[in-house]
Amino acid sequence: MTRVLMLLALTGNGLAAGVLLSTVLGGVPLLLSLPPARYVHAHGFLAQRYDPFMPVTLAATAVVDLVLAWLTPGVAGHALYAAAALTVGGVMTISVTKNVPINKYLISLDPDTLPDDWDRRDPRYRWRTWNAVRTTLAVAALVINLAASATALL
């Protein structure tokens, strides 16, 4: 049972980290290159496709990590899986408090009628920064999950 949970944690964390890393490497540079109206349209299109996949994947990974922190024998396994769960929780917290509000704001806009103060309100660089932070945390959580699984299997 523990090995199945390890595979689930690694798979969920790997998928989440991969999706976030793909946004850093391809999505963000593309979106930053677009004029404002096309950016708003493209961002809204993309953001709606990642929900509910990302929240469900991250939440499932965090729950499985917590279960593994409880079930895995040894202090190292407990500590590493707990650290992975906390790190994934950090990704979720940044998503909910920083990126999701920006996504909702952008989805609410009409790309053909942007606010007059768009230059002041343009959220692209703020979204990019928080996305990079949560991507770093997701990759760190994956490394922690790998270390936890290796420790538990040795």
Distance CA 105, CA 61 (A): 28
DSSP state for residue 117 in the 8-state scheme: T
Q: Is the pLDDT of residue 5 over 90?
A: yes
Render pLDDT for 130-150 as a digit per residue (tens, 0 to 9): 999 999 999 999 999 999 999
Locate tokens 């420790």: which residue? 151
Distance CA 9, CA 107 (A): 31
- The answer to whether residues 118 and 36 touch, using CB atoms and an 8 Å cutoff, is yes
Give the largest Cα separation in the chain, rounded: 60
pTM for this model (two decimals):
0.95
Distance CA 75, CA 87 (A): 18
Strands (E), the chain: none
DSSP state for residue 95 in the 8-state scheme: I
- Quick count: other Cβ atoms within 10 Å of Cβ 3? 10
Residue 99 CA to its chain's centroid (Å): 10
- The answer to whether residues 16 and 138 touch, using CB atoms and an 8 Å cutoff, is yes
Query: Using alpha carbons only, what angle is made at residue 144 by residues 152 and 136, rounded to the nearest 5 degrees?
Result: 165
Render pLDDT for 28-74 as a digit per residue (tens, 0 to 9): 999 999 999 999 999 999 988 888 899 999 999 999 999 999 999 89
